[in-house]
Structure 1
Amino acid sequence: MNKQKTLVILTPGFPANEDDTTCIPSMQIFVRGLKQSKPQLHVVVISFQYPFTASTYSWYGVEVIALAGKGRGQLFRLVTWRRVWQALKQHHSRYKIEGLLSFWIGEAAFMGNRFAKKYNLPHYTWLLGQDAKAGNHYVKQIKPEGRSLIAISDFLAKEFRINYGITPEHVIPTGIDITLFSALPVKRDIDIIGVGSLIPLKQYGLFINVIKSLSNKFPNIKTVICGKGPEMENLKKQIHKLKLGNNIQLNGELSHPEVLALMQQSKILLHTSEYEGYSTVLSEALYAGCHVVSLVNAMNTRPPQHHVPDNAEHLPVIIADLLSDNNLQHERVLVYPIQVIAAKIATLFGH
């Protein structure tokens, strides 16, 4: 009997159900896009830490095995890893595993690499951001070859080469699903939007300072920030201190559709992160018709609607020029459709 061809995806976390749109939206879009483009391929996701309840369930036709590690300490992590191995062995005996795809160089890549070597299977790891920074001990343990690495951007491939002397052979960004967007609005009543976790790396304190600078010329500037995180209280205090309560709205964590809807009401996405692989929100904002202003130039080529200053001090200048342009266009810009991205990944595994 011919076994069904199967691709196994290893990840720290995955949506608990189809309504869980806030859990790594870029991964959701990719997995769903992969399943839609390759409906005959059996896709299995093994999620190490989240959801926090162990179960096996179907997600848009994808088999998900949640092991509920919950991010606990070393002993519990070893137990989780043993369960991952058991799940992989069961699927290897039941299906024809075409290969393994690991998200991040972390525990998922560590386990994927071990299993792939034992059973002589293709294994690729997708570098998505901070895993390319110096000090990732999993790199030394895995000793990956460049041909097995996929970098999400040109910047990340270069960063990994500088830090570890290994050049990822593949550069494939995450894609966007254009079916999630509604028709473009006639009016854009939000001047600037920010989307992302409220953590120091994202530099939302800088974001707020930029708005303060702009408010001198645009006293009625309207800004929203979508996201949650440990910096929330500090940002609230900063907004209050700078008397920007009428200019900046902290929306907290919103569902993915709600964020996309707000993007389509916005003129500019400001991305102040000091380090970035290539955030999917950049591509989403471009397709939503926003101009994008970011500190990190992640790709060697970018559309003219994506503006990158020489340094942070130039952020207000670029944004002021955009807001002052009465003829500023807000057409859709599609750079990385998910169908193309899913096809590139599938090709690596011979599909």
Structure 2
Amino acid sequence: MRTEQQTLIFLSPGFAKDETDTSCLPLQQQLVKHVKDNYPDLHIVVVTLHYPYKKVAYTWNGITVYPLNGKNRGKIRRLRTWMKAFSLLKKLREEHNIIGLYSFWLGECAMIGQRFAARNHYKHFCWICGQDAREHNRYVKLSRITVGNLVALSDAIAENMVKNYGLYPANVIAGGLEPELFGNDEQERDIDLLSVGSLIPLKRQHVFLEIVARLRRHRPYIRAVICGDGPLRKSLEEKVQQLHLDNNIIFTGQLPYSEVLKLMQQARVLVHPSSYEGLGMVMLEALYAGAQVVSFVRPFHKPVDNWHIVDTSFHMAEKVNELLDEHYQHHYTRLAPYTMHDTARAILQLFDYKEPAIARSLEAIALNESVAV
């Protein structure tokens, strides 16, 4: 029997397997949960193509998640996953009053969402999140998507879409923070430099090691932490030994999301040497944790306080050294350029959803003037 309650469907390549799986796409998790908690009259459904490796629908924070168990398999098996997705969406169409679909990444989900929405006259929007704006994304053509359906996570992503595909997304909606996830207790700032991210070539942690080595010449007791895991961990650990930084750098491996936020609250400077980022939520999180941020990437046209953009590793080391010198005069201030409240509201406005969000009682949101997304 078809329900009259309005339903919004989120399409994602992966999603948390349960409430304890906080490291799987935390931004997407927080958005979905925020909409569920703050727009109670709107029914939320998540369809996930490849992860988790489950075949039966499950409940996550009161939200029904339909896993298709694609496991990122290729060729005919991937095609079967797509067909399963279309079949499920048809079933949901019969059971729910769908107001639209929102896809994460301009990939398979966008292709499925766009084609299903076009056939059934639903609204569909795709959140371009980073790597999908780079060259050679075949789904830009396969999805038959238009600029009106595109939502860029940052100004930089929008510019990359123009550069690589001649498409300028009609909307730019930044990922926001959930201030309530940060503890209120003051942490000792005993980490000089922090790097957070997967240990893969794109993130360029070898630059982080070189910066620590350079600073160690004048700061022999400098303390740095690399949070994350990946295929390059062994080679990075070997480089640490070669540079004689064993007493200066700690590898934490992959940590629960809450533990990562605690590390940020202990850090003086977050160094992000990645060569490409659509937004880099870790940098926004570090700002709210009170740390200074230094990066090569500039996601937004408008400058953000305490976020320092440099163009070379030499200038990065110089800026970090300058910030560490200022440490003892520095007052650590939480900054929230974008909150999840702003993000969710902007996304729901795309679907002409009129229900006002429940008033938030969190004092943390009022600490800063939010930039409108």
TM over 0.5: yes
What are the within-5 Å matches in structure 2 for residues 38-49 of structure 1? 38-49=39-50
Counterpart in the other structure of 2:338: 336
What is the SS of the residue equivalent to 1:320?
Answer: helix
Q: Distance in 2 between matches of 1:107 and 1:192?
A: 37
Are the counterparts in 2 of residues 37 and 343 from structure 1 also a CA contact under 8 Å? no
Q: Once the two structures are superposed, what CA deviation does each residue of 1:111-130 show, in whole Å capped at 9, x if it has no partner?
A: 11110011011010000001
Shift of 1:166: 0.5
For structure 1, the 5+ residue unaligned runs are none
Q: Distance in 1 between matches of 2:4 and 2:101?
A: 17
Are the counterparts in 2 of residues 10 and 46 from structure 1 also a CA contact under 8 Å? yes
Poorly superposed stretches of 4+, deviation over 4 Å:
none
Counterpart in the other structure of 1:288: 289
Shift of 1:69: 0.6
Counterpart in the other structure of 2:244: 243
**Partner AA of 1:189 in structure 2:** D
Q: Distance in 2 between matches of 1:238 and 1:310?
A: 24
Aligned residues: CA RMSD: 1.1
Comparing 1-10 with 11-20, greater Cα deviation is found at: 1-10
Shift of 1:4: 1.7
Comparing 160-169 with 328-337, greater Cα deviation is found at: 328-337
Shift of 1:2: 5.5
1:198 aligns with 2:199: yes
Are the counterparts in 2 of residues 155 and 299 from structure 1 also a CA contact under 8 Å? yes
Counterpart in the other structure of 2:82: 81
Counterpart in the other structure of 2:352: 350
Shift of 1:198: 0.7
Q: Once the two structures are superposed, what CA deviation does each residue of 1:214-233 show, in whole Å capped at 9, x if it has no partner?
A: 11121111111111111111
Q: Distance in 1 between matches of 2:184 and 2:127?
A: 32
Counterpart in the other structure of 2:188: 187
Are the counterparts in 2 of residues 184 and 264 from structure 1 also a CA contact under 8 Å? no
TM-score normalized by structure 2?
0.92
Q: Distance in 2 between matches of 1:128 and 1:219?
A: 39
Identity %: 40
Q: Distance in 1 between matches of 2:281 and 2:35?
A: 17
Q: Distance in 2 between matches of 1:8 and 1:44?
A: 5
What is the SS of the residue equivalent to 1:18?
Answer: coil
Counterpart in the other structure of 2:323: 322
What is the SS of the residue equivalent to 2:57?
Answer: strand
Counterpart in the other structure of 2:356: none
What is the SS of the residue equivalent to 2:293?
Answer: strand
Distance change >3 Å, CA 174–CA 229, structure 1 → 2:
same
Counterpart in the other structure of 1:53: 54
Give the length in aligned residue pairs. Answer: 351
Shift of 1:280: 1.0
Q: Distance in 2 between matches of 1:2 and 1:79?
A: 29
Are the counterparts in 1 of residues 58 and 64 from structure 2 also a CA contact under 8 Å? yes
TM-score normalized by structure 1?
0.98
Are the counterparts in 2 of residues 184 and 288 from structure 1 also a CA contact under 8 Å? no
What is the SS of the residue equivalent to 1:270?
Answer: strand
Counterpart in the other structure of 2:365: none
Comparing 181-190 with 281-290, greater Cα deviation is found at: 181-190
